[in-house]
Amino acid sequence: MATPPKNPRPDDGRPPSWAGAPGFTPGVDGLPPHAPMPGAPPYPAAPEHAPPPVGRRARRTRFVTALGATAFWAVVNVVLVVAVVGVPPGPAAFGQFVGVLILPTLLAALAVWAIARRRAWPFWLLVLLAAPFFWVLRAVFNALPAS
Residue 97: the pLDDT is 87
- Per-residue confidence (pLDDT) for residue 129, from 0 to 100: 96
Dist CA 126 CA 91 (whole Å): 31
10-residue averages of pLDDT along the chain (147 residues): 59 64 61 60 74 76 94 95 90 89 96 93 95 95 80
Q: What is the pLDDT of residue 57?
A: 74
What pLDDT shows up at residue 145?
A: 82
> What local confidence, expressed as pLDDT, does residue 147 receive?
61
pLDDT at 46: 75
Q: How far apart are CA 69 and CA 61, in angstroms?
A: 11
Q: Which of 6, 132, 4 is nearest to 69 (CA)?
A: 132
Residue type at position 145: P
pLDDT at 45: 72
Residue 88 has what pLDDT? 87
